[in-house]
Amino acid sequence: MTEGAGRYLRDEADYATDDEERTYREDRGYPKNARPFSSQQTVRRLSDLLDVADRCAQIVRRGEPTFFADEIDGELLRAAAERYLISIGTVVEKLHSDYKDALPDVPWRAVTAMRNLIAHHYDKVDDEVVWQSISRRVPELVDALGLTGGVCDAVLPPHLRNQALRPSDPFPGSTP
């Protein structure tokens, strides 16, 4: 086995030998993500996003006064909302660029920027912005992604449906 033969490329189970990687680059160029698109993986991630959005909706149902309360309940709700926004941003970061490119009107950068703000600059987090995010922005994201009816292959753009990464062929279209 050559050095770097099992090198990690981008995401779980995306390993390649140096020869496979070189062939892939020569034949197809290097995409934004160094892995092929998988509709099953995308549906799974969108399902995760929808689960977290439902948890945000549960916080919103508790009401704005409860969210901003000085008691422990308010503090816990604010902390949970921040964690959920970090989760949504992480899911969005992991979505394949082919999927995100197919939906250019979705504010992908704003979602990841919010995640980065909360995760890395927690001292600058404004509770009002967090409330607006969970009460307005998250439902808007769910609508923009077409997830209001749940998650299935139908939420994917037509040209991305039923595409799967086959474990025996990590670089479809390339020749060994």
User: What is the pLDDT confidence band of residue 153, given thresholds at 50, 70 and 90?
Assistant: low
Q: How far, CA to CA in Å, does 67 sit from each of 62, 127, 142?
A: 7, 9, 22
* pLDDT at position 20: 52
Concatenated DSSP letters of 127-173: HHHHHHIIIIIHHHHHHHTT-TT--SGGGS-GGGTT---BTTBSSTT
Q: Which residue did the predictor score with more confidence, 144 or 157?
A: 144
- Please state the domain extents for the chain: 39-145
Mean pLDDT, rounded, for 59-70: 97
5: its two tokens = 């033969």
| Per-residue pLDDT at 36 | 77
Q: In the prediction, which pLDDT does 122 show?
A: 84
Within 10 A of 163 (CB to CB), how many other CB atoms are there? 18
Q: For the chain, how many residues are written?
A: 176
Among 12-26, 55-69, 142-156, top mean pLDDT goes to: 55-69
Per-residue model confidence (pLDDT) at position 149: 82
How does pLDDT run across 1-48, given as a tens digit for each residue?
Answer: 344 433 333 343 343 455 555 554 554 444 455 567 788 888 899 999
